[in-house]
Amino acid sequence: MTYLAGLGLGLSLIVAIGAQNVFVLRQGLRREHVGLVVLICAISDAVLIAAGVAGVGAAIEAVPWLVTAARWAGAAFLLGYAVLAARRALRPEGERLEADDATVAPASPAPGGRTATATATRASSLRAVALTCLALTWLNPHVYLDTVVLLGTVATTHDARWLFAAGAITGSVLWFTALGYGARLLSGVLARPGAWRVLDGAIAAVMAGLAVSLVLGA
């Protein structure tokens, strides 16, 4: 029962629209570095949950300026991401899919028959996706308030608190895996550039709204 309680609370805290979930959904729809994104989100949640159960949540409550700093940094990042999404939505051609981005000027062949330019582009994209995912996760003050403080506090009410933590971590893994890899089921709906413009417009609105909510709550 303790494990299931952790699983239920973990899912209830994470299954809600937010910057991290929107990003995972978008990467899943694009089928771009989905495994990496899911892995980063799952490992980050596991670390945060373990920290909360270990008692870090109490330390965060004792130093409130840490959450305030994360709130302002997160708001700035979300606003920047919203601007980028809005620019994509305003493009007449809509979202440039990975196949279109692969059309680059020929360059000297790299090992395996790939061009050096294409390889560099993919490496840059991988790095950008990883950094964006990390920022959306660790610059979100709600992560510390919900995952570390709240979940950590509830865990202390259970005798087997680490079993509770294991349930919460399982919930995170299941959710991010389902969101990232299940998103491709909607790829047919988003086959047209116009659909991507609507999606990016919605993403811009969500990110901007979250940024404003963080600022108002500071």
Is residue 176 within 8 Å of residue 133, measured between CB atoms?
A: no
Which phi and psi (to 5°) does residue 32 adopt? -120, 110
How far is 78 from 71, CA to CA, in rounded Å? Answer: 10
Q: Note the pLDDT of residue 133.
A: 93
Domain residue ranges in the chain: 2-99+116-216
Q: Note the pLDDT of residue 38.
A: 96
CA distances from 64 to 41, 47, 59, 68, 143 (A): 25, 20, 9, 7, 14
Q: Note the pLDDT of residue 43.
A: 95
Q: Note the pLDDT of residue 104.
A: 34
Q: Note the pLDDT of residue 193.
A: 66
Chunk the chain into consecutive blocks of 10 residues (it has 218) and report each block's average pLDDT, rounded to whole numbers.
84 76 89 94 93 75 70 80 83 50 39 57 80 90 78 79 91 93 78 73 82 75
